[in-house]
Amino acid sequence: MTTRLIVWRHGNTDWNAAGRFQGQADVPLNDLGRRQAERSAQTLAALRPAAIVASDLRRAADTAAALSAVTGLAATHDERLRERFFGEWQGLTRAEIEARHPAGIARWRAGEDVVGDDVETLDDLGKRVSEAFQDAAALAPGGVVVVATHGAAARQGLAHLLGWPGEQVRTLRALRNCHWIELTLEEGPGWQLSAYNVGVPAEGNRSASESVQAP
């Protein structure tokens, strides 16, 4: 019996377009993001999901709602799926962070777990998101579950679930808006990565924020 977990990043926002670190600021989808969600939902609906779970932040919740509209499945919300809390960096561009918090951003670029400036640690992020992934998968053993979340949360949750070291996580490209990861769970091998950064070709899938890997 194989359970498939689709980890879906939200659509584009104005802060994505401006290259601003969103973290847990509740920024809504923009028009492009809504179109991306609608296009992706058509493809994901063909997988016949048995359950949909989303972060309670609007950009992820509204992305999940596009899939709910196609499938008729109501999405549940789990705050553990929220993006990494970026503390004093939220709302700032990378250039602004480099000017105001140079030591912290240097640690972030180096992939350190603790960067300071009230930014959530990678370990804490990975633990809470991977727990949410496991609970979501348990909703439909042997079926397909779609989880709508955020870029850094998706990547670190995946890494924690698979037991990857930090050096390996840093080899992954940033997850594009409305693209997804597929993880499978089966008895014996356990959790495995089946696909990464899969999505529907559409306008504007690469944003300024993706280039710095901080949605």
Tell me how far apart the alpha carbons of residues 138 and 61 are, in angstroms, rounded to a whole number.
20
User: At a CB cut-off of 8 Å and minimum separation 6, what does 137 contact?
Assistant: 3, 5, 145, 185
* 13 is annotated as contributing to ligand binding: yes
Higher per-residue confidence, 129 vs 212: 129
* 15 is annotated as contributing to ligand binding: yes
CA atoms within 13 A on the CB side of 17: 13
Q: What percent of the chain has pLDDT over 70?
A: 93
Give the architecture (CATH level 2) of 2-86+122-211: 3-Layer(aba) Sandwich (3.40)
**pLDDT at 206 > cutoff 50:** no
CA distances to 87, 204, 214 from 93, rounded to whole Å, are 13, 19, 10
For 140-151, how does the pLDDT look when each residue is reduced to its tens digit (9 = 90+)?
999 999 999 999
The model's confidence at residue 201, banded by pLDDT at 50, 70 and 90, is confident
The model's confidence at residue 212, banded by pLDDT at 50, 70 and 90, is very low
What integer is the mean pLDDT of 182-206? 86
For 33-66, how does the pLDDT look when each residue is reduced to its tens digit (9 = 90+)?
999 999 999 999 999 999 999 999 999 999 999 9
pLDDT, position 74: 98
Are 103 and 119 within 8 A, CB to CB?
A: no
* 77 is annotated as contributing to ligand binding: no
**pLDDT at 67 > cutoff 80:** yes
* 14 is annotated as contributing to ligand binding: yes
* 12 is annotated as contributing to ligand binding: yes
Structure tokens given for 187: 């008895």
pLDDT, position 33: 97
Tell me how far apart the alpha carbons of residues 133 and 197 are, in angstroms, rounded to a whole number.
17
In the chain, where the domains are located: 2-86+122-211
Q: How many CB atoms lie within 10 A of CB 68?
A: 19
Q: List, by residue number, the catalytic residues.
A: 10, 83
Output the pTM of the full model. Answer: 0.92
pLDDT, position 210: 35
CA distances to 140, 159, 214 from 136, rounded to whole Å, are 8, 17, 24
